[in-house]
Amino acid sequence: MSEQKHNSGPHPDNKDSLEHAAMQDEQMQEVHAQLMREKEEPEEGFSPVPIFLMFLFATLCFWGGVYLVHYSANFRWDAYSPYFDPNADKPVPVEITLFARGEKIFRNNCAVCHQGTGVGVPGVYPPIAGSDWVTEHPQVLARVLINGLNGPIEVMGGKYNGNMPAFGPTGLNLSDKDLAGVMTYIRQEWGNSAPDMTVAMVESYKALYASRSSPWNYPAVKADLDPIPEPAVEAPAEAAPEGSEATEAEAEAETAAQGARSDELPVIAAAH
Ligand code: HEC
């Protein structure tokens, strides 16, 4: 402190500098007095943020959120690449066969009664495996599935008298594809061997029986049958153009997707 006094201010031995300093002090006091007069009265508390600024910030945050949602492209690393394809990650839809579709339908809708092995439950649920109801005339099978079946029947020497629910529009309403699938499946699983039940066949049988609201009985269910549509001739002629077209388009889409992944992306990755 004392040292500071020594260092600052005029030297006490120097008269000139003392006078000079005195004048300076006077001036300074004047300026200070002036400043004190003009100073605002101090207040307590703090000044709030102006309300329009709050609104401005809120609007900015909201706009920022909207902008991110719209333009972030899910924060994908390759979003700014010139070859960006937003669908590259999505799996190419694969058309499953009628048999594979039918297997699922059977597990979900039929196995509870006819059992996963298709042997049924003796005296209660008739067997599907080895049953001529399944493999012989597609129209019988279509009638049973579209409208249901009840009353006494005989399957593979066993007698049954139960209720088979309808899976057509008046019942559980499976789609044409699902019906064709499940019928194809049970005609070809567990050693059963009969031609496919095509979607076209299901459509034509549905046109006949969709409006029927009561289940079939034996022997009506096996009477008045139309000739069996020639599946060996009809199926390839009808299914082939559709099927091959679809698989070709799929194969193309898949190779395109693979190309995008294997050829282009590494280049971009290298550029990064
Ligand atoms: C609630 C139990 C139940 C469900 C579910 C069920 N069935 Fe049946 N099914 C029966 C009964 C009972 C009969 C025999 C009806 C009778 O006695 O008249 C039968 C008969 C049949 C027959 C003719 C007889 C035979 O064994 O060949 C076929 C074919 C058949 N069902 C297929 C199916 C298919 C396919 C599904 C699934 C889409 C299915 N069932 C779902 C109970 C069921």
Report residue 172 as tokens: 């559980």
- 188 is written with which tokens? 């070809």
Q: Is the pLDDT of residue 257 over 90?
A: no
Which residue has its alpha carbon closest to ligand 1 atom 11?
A: 164
Portion of the chain with pLDDT greater than 90, in percent: 43
Same domain, 131 and 25: no
Q: Does residue 172 belong to any structural domain of this protein?
A: yes
Which amino acid would we find at residue 145? L
pLDDT tens sequence across 229-248: 775 544 444 444 444 444 55
Verify whether ligand 1 is closer than 6 Å to residue 72 (CB atom). no
Residue 50 lies in a domain: no
Calpha distance 85→209 (Å, rounded): 47
Per the structure block, which two tokens stand in for 160?
Answer: 């049954």
Q: What does the pLDDT look like over 178-220, one tens digit per residue?
A: 999 999 999 999 999 999 999 999 999 999 998 888 999 998 8
Tokens encoding 26: 């006077």
- Pocket lining: 187 vs ligand 1, CB cutoff 6 Å: no
DSSP state of 216: B
Q: Does 44 fall in a domain? A: no
Do 103 and 208 lie in a common domain?
Answer: yes
Query: Per DSSP, what are the bridge partners of residue 160?
Result: 153
Ligand 1 in reach of 186 Cβ (< 6 A): yes
Tokens for 179, please give them: 């019906």
- Here the tokens at position 76 are 């994908």
Q: Is 128 in the pocket of ligand 1 (CB under 6 A)?
A: yes
Residue 244 falls inside a structural domain: no
- The pLDDT tens digits for 81-138 are 888 777 777 888 788 899 999 999 999 999 999 999 999 999 899 999 999 999 999 9
Is 251 inside any structural domain? no
Structurally, the chain folds into a number of domains equal to 2
Q: Please choose from 99, 106, 114 the residue to mutate so as to test ligand 1's pocket, defined by most ligand atoms within 8 A of CB.
A: 114
Q: Which residue's alpha carbon is nearest to atom 31 within ligand 1? A: 164
- Asked whether 90 and 153 are in contact (CB, 8 A), the reply is no
Closest CA to 89 of 258, 269, 264: 258
> Which domain, by its residues, includes 141?
98-234
